[in-house]
């Protein structure tokens, strides 16, 4: 699918009655479901999906659950468990078939890692899991994000990937091609909760935006922040690079919502989607 068509498809498939500060609702694997819970004149309710707390945000006079749907979510009816013994809400997830992507790598260790690499990878995985599972009650500053880097989308979310012909996990983020050294900005405010040099992801930064919403920025050439830093929307946190498993300079941007990797494009305004498509 051409990049322009990808951006248009996101707009057409998303809910036309979307509150300005919420991400676009697209209830598919790797997407977002948004459900009204209660009028906003009372306290915010709580909810869980897959036994994990879910973001609850006020929009248009209602408290709304903003639910991240893992790529492994089965199409059909799903249930959101309400807090305080209030029962459950059912909602439907539609099927979505993602395209395939075949990548050739000259460094075979990025396809079949060696024993010492696996030790590094296991440490990386443990650190990533801990960052993605963080929960902070503070609500995100905004859930309509800035583009973290100026560039063209080179790899949409969700593609089923094959490295040197071998199947691997689907693409859990969005790739933005840009020259090495291009500033990378925080898509919205938050706290730096993890940084490091990862085997596959290269130099990486994790930003906790609040209520289970986390950004991961990968393949960086440098990192300009430290763990514990509180950062503002649009603040430069790093620079584009080509560290880790890459074929060229770009930013890999993952967004996690209630520990589910979802399409970052759903958090972007129409103007940002147009920029990604090269318009």
- Per-residue model confidence as pLDDT tens digits over 60-69: 999 999 999 9
Q: In this predicted model, what pLDDT tens digit does every residue of 150-173 receive, in sequence order?
A: 999 988 898 776 666 565 577 889
Q: What is the DSSP code (8-state) at residue 31? A: S
- pLDDT band for 9, please (50, 70, 90 cuts): very low
Report phi then psi at 130, rounded to 5. -65, -40
Residue tagged 């960086």 (tokens): 220
Q: Compute the distance between CA of residue 3 and CA of residue 273 in angstroms, rounded to an integer.
A: 10
pLDDT (mean) for 239-268? 96
């Amino acid at each position: 699918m051409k990049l322009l068509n990808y951006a248009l498809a996101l707009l057409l498939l998303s809910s036309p009655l979307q509150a300005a500060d919420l991400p676009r609702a697209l209830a598919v694997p790797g997407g977002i479901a948004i459900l009204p819970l209660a009028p906003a004149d009372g306290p915010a309710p709580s909810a869980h999906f897959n036994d994990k707390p879910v973001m609850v945000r006020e929009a248009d006079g209602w408290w709304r659950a903003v639910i991240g749907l893992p790529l492994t979510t089965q199409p059909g009816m799903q249930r959101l468990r309400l807090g305080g013994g209030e029962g459950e809400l059912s909602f439907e997830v539609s099927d979505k078939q993602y395209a395939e992507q075949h990548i050739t790598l000259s460094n075979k260790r990025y396809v079949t890692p060696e024993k010492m690499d696996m030790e590094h990878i296991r440490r990386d995985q443990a650190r990533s899991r801990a960052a993605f599972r963080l929960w902070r009650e503070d609500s995100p500053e905004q859930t309509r994000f800035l583009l973290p880097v100026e560039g063209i989308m080179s790899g949409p979310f969700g593609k089923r990937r094959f490295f040197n012909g071998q199947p691997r996990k689907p693409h859990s983020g969005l790739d933005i091609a840009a020259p090495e050294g291009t500033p990378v900005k925080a898509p919205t405010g938050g706290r730096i909760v993890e940084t490091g040099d990862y085997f596959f992801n290269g130099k990486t930064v994790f930003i906790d935006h609040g209520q289970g919403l986390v950004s991961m920025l990968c393949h960086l050439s440098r990192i300009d922040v430290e763990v514990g830093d509180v950062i503002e929307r649009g603040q430069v946190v790093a620079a584009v690079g080509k560290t880790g498993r890459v074929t060229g300079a770009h930013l890999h941007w993952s967004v996690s919502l209630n520990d589910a990797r979802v399409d970052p494009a759903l958090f972007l305004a129409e103007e940002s989607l147009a920029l990604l498509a090269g318009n």
